A and B are shown apart, each in its own frame.
Chain A
Amino acid sequence: MSEQQPSRRDSARLDILRQELLSPVVSVDGHADLLQGLIKNTDCLADLEKIKTAATQTRTLVAAMLAAETENLAETQRDNQRSGFRHDLRNSVGAISGYSEIILEELEDADELSEDTRVYLDHLQTDSNKLLDMLDTLFQDDHESGTDSESALDLDIHSVFDSFDRSEKEDTETITGRILVVDDNESNRNLLSHQLQQQGHEVSTVASGRQALDLIPESAPDLILLDLFMPEMNGFDVLREMHQDEALRAIPVIVITGLSDRSAAAKCIEAGAFDILLKPVNPVLLKARVAGCLERKAWHDKEQAYQQELEKSYTFIRKVFGRYISDEVVQEILEADDGMQLGGGKQQITIIMTDIRGFSMLSQELDPQDCVKMLNNYFGVMTPLIQKYDGVINEFLGDAILAIFGAPVVSDDHAQQAVACAIEMQQAMGEVNRNHHTWGLPSIEVGIAVNTGEVVVGNIGSENRSKYGIVGHHVNLTARIESFTVGGQVMVSEYTVAALGSPVTVATSLEVEAKGIKNRVKIHEITGIGAPYNLRLEQDEQTVLQLQQPLPVTFNLLSGKAIADEQVNGTLTAVAVDIAHLETAFELEVLNNLRMQLPTFEASEDDQIFSKVTGVVDDTPEQNKYIIKLTSAPLSARDYIRSLAVLPQQ
């Protein structure tokens, strides 16, 4: 190895010298060709021919001079030889510069010198001067500095070869892969596959382009070595067909051809070939190109896998979130730089909580199937509405919906979006109940609470099971407000109203106490919201009918979940669909919850009737008159009360 190195380096030195010396000559040739197209003057064209002749001589002399360098000669002999080449080269290069000067002078005199011509002629001068400079310094180092120091060129050569040596030592493992050899010539096929097998690759072979195309899709090789001239289907057509196919296009192809025609090589590269190797294939080059190709393929595959992984996780996220969030919000989360970091953070958001009035009782009476049908219908109508206002359904809890606005995607108008959404949800109850009617199912009503405040938002739970959720006393407050609502109402906290940008119509306002909130909280029943939403709730105008005979009832006042023992007497004096006027000596307040018994209606222990005080008609002492609304009652009880109301009309 160490004995071979100097000769490798010497030959590299000569290669580089040849390249250095020939590039100005190639430039002269090229510019002379260009000038032939520009110059009309016949004398000058003749001189241009002489320049081309001189360029050819120069080329031949350079090759001969460098070939002579490899001869083993005595020093004086070598010096004489070099001097001879130098002399001849100075003459041939001198002819290039001399004739270009002559052409320049003659065209100038004849006033036929175009700008391009001048520039190209200048290049001939520059190139020949460059050559002359190189000839002057070419062998100077040998004379001046002997063998101790090296020229800059030698230093360059050594640095490159030293790097080669290092990389050879580092290359302990070379990349291997599955390679398909496509060649109709059996000897070629065998040689290539043996060479590749020796390099550790897994090789399969086919003898025609058609067979290759049949095999490639299922075998999916890492690399294809493709012959150009084959029966059935030639290599170029294979390339073109592969390029048409999205899946096959990614497989790199090295074309192996005996065709040294440059335009054929260019055509193959254009058609998608990774590289061209000329026959007979040099095994060292083959090894290097195959390794380079496989490495690129490995990177490409890795990138592809990563891409697929990413796509898969996106699809997963879409699937998980898509049930609760609109596509736009999912897209926004996916595209946001920190969108996937759904970690905890305090955030101002608006919360909506809805509840179907008396659903627990209803669910006991209904077929389980009907119950599920009813809920699916209800959620099916509500979900798109919430998404329409950029809300996120955080949870379905039984018949309740917990939706948040302003997270995970931050927005400035989450309060008004939520209020508008709540109003439209109430409006949509008509559609929900129309479906119920078609199916012969009872109508339902929802109460909706809206509250705005700072909560902790993020992924809450353990490593294995976590969900995006919200925590904080504003969540509890929302639930509390929800408990004050009756069917058809949208109750909004003062915090939400303060955050609204749009004007709203307030029907009634109350103050309530809530856990974790120091002061009493004002809540407002909202029946409409202005621009840009312009939504209004049709007021429930139930015709209240006086009963011919007041209906005696007894009731207990509920405090929280507890039912007071004290049983109070009263009478219902008027009824509508689900409201009634209650007269009693007992003093009640708006929002008091009552459990009622109708002595004239037989009910089981489970069939309890709950109602809420929604208004005061008259509060003269000893005989108070309140409006109550049924919040939860068995269907039979509702029907019974309704029958009392419609009876007088019949």
Chain B
Amino acid sequence: MAKILIVEDNEMNRDMLSRRLKRKGFEIEVAVDGQQGVEMASATMPDVVLMDMSLPVKDGWTATRELKANEATAGLKIISLTAHAMDGDRQKALAAGCDDYDTKPIDLKRLLGKIKALL
């Protein structure tokens, strides 16, 4: 069973995403800010990290860079999620080391496709 870490500060988004992915059979871990995200990713080694970018304490780009810089966690598959959906966001996320990029609100089908592609 694939394990997914959701790093998301917005409570409703966290609630929705985790419930919907659980229904699809994934094991879900959640973190509420970038710092916690990095810690939990190192501790639980999920198959996929869904990383929000505008996060408190430590934003998503920094967290991603840290995880990718650390040898132990460099192999983690990270999908960047952002509600900004601006033109430059995708480049910015990929430059930080994200493996893929998607926008919010979540289109579950599309996101599942991206997750499966990385597994």
Contacts and interface: CB of A to CB of B under 8 A. Distances in A.
Interface of A: 50, 53-54, 83, 86-88, 90-91, 93-95, 97-99, 101-102, 105, 128, 132, 136
Contacts of A53: 12
Interface stretch (B16-24, B35-43, B69-77, B91-99): B16-24
A50 B85 CA distance: 24
A95 B84 contact: no
A97 B83 CA distance: 14
Interface string B84-113: 111000000000000000001110100000
15 contacts: A50-B12, A50-B15, A86-B84, A87-B54, A87-B84, A88-B83, A91-B10, A91-B83, A91-B104, A93-B105, A94-B106, A98-B12, A98-B13, A98-B105, A105-B23
A86 B85 CA distance: 9
Interface in B21-62: 23, 54
* Majority secondary structure of chain A interface residues (helix, strand, loop or mixed): helix
B10 to A, nearest CB: 5
Interface of B: 10, 12-13, 15-17, 19-20, 23, 54, 83-86, 104-106, 108
A94 B23 contact: no
Nearest to B103: A90
Contacts of B104: 90-91, 94
Given A83-B86, A98-B12, A90 B105 contact: yes
A93 B105 CA distance: 8
Contact of B16 (A83, A90, A98, A128): A98
B12 A54 contact: yes
A501 B17 CA distance: 95
Contact of A132 (B10, B13, B105): B105
A99 B16 contact: yes
B19 A102 contact: yes
Nearest to B19: A102
B83 A94 contact: yes
Contact of A91 (B12, B15, B19, B23): B12
Nearest to A99: B16
A95 B19 CA distance: 13
B12 A87 contact: no
A95 B20 contact: no
Contacts of A97: 105
B27 to A, nearest CB: 19
B83 A95 contact: no
A136 B103 CA distance: 13
Contacts of B84: 83, 86-87, 90
Contacts of B13: 91, 94-95, 98
B60 to A, nearest CB: 13
B12 A99 contact: yes
Contacts of B105: 90-91, 93-95, 97-98, 128, 132
B83 A101 contact: no
A94 B104 CA distance: 7
A87 B83 contact: yes
B89 to A, nearest CB: 10
A193 to B, nearest CB: 56
A136 to B, nearest CB: 8
A17 to B, nearest CB: 20
A90 B83 contact: yes
A83 B87 CA distance: 12
A102 B106 contact: no
Contacts of B106: 94, 98
A87 B85 CA distance: 8
A2 B3 CA distance: 64
Name, among B13, B20, B83, the residue most crowded by chain A CB atoms within 10 Å (CB to CB).
Answer: B83
A102 B105 CA distance: 13
Given A86-B84, A95-B12, 18 more contacts: A50-B12, A54-B12, A86-B83, A87-B84, A91-B12, A91-B13, A91-B83, A94-B13, A94-B105, A95-B13, A97-B105, A98-B12, A98-B17, A98-B20, A98-B105, A98-B106, A102-B16, A105-B20
A94 B10 CA distance: 11
A399 to B, nearest CB: 102
Contacts of A99: 12, 16
Contacts of A132: 105
Contacts of A91: 10, 12-13, 83, 104-105
B70 to A, nearest CB: 28
Nearest to B84: A87
A297 B24 CA distance: 68
Contacts of A136: 85
B91 to A, nearest CB: 16
Contacts of B16: 95, 98-99, 102
A336 to B, nearest CB: 71
* 8 closest cross-chain pairs (CB), A and B: A94-B105, A90-B83, A98-B16, A95-B12, A87-B83, A91-B83, A87-B84, A91-B10
Contacts of A90: 83-85, 104-105
Given A91-B104, A94-B104, A102 B83 contact: no
Contacts of A87: 54, 83-84
Contacts of B20: 98, 101-102, 105
Nearest to A86: B84
Nearest to A57: B12
Contacts of B83: 86-88, 90-91, 94
Contacts of B85: 90, 136
A136 B106 CA distance: 15
Contacts of A93: 105
Nearest to A135: B85
Nearest to A136: B85
Nearest to B9: A91
Nearest to A89: B83
Nearest to B13: A91
A156 B91 CA distance: 37
B110 to A, nearest CB: 13
B42 to A, nearest CB: 27
Contacts of A86: 83-84
A326 to B, nearest CB: 81
Contact of B108 (A50, A95, A101, A128): A101
Central interface residue in A50, A86, A98, by most chain B CB within 10 Å: A98
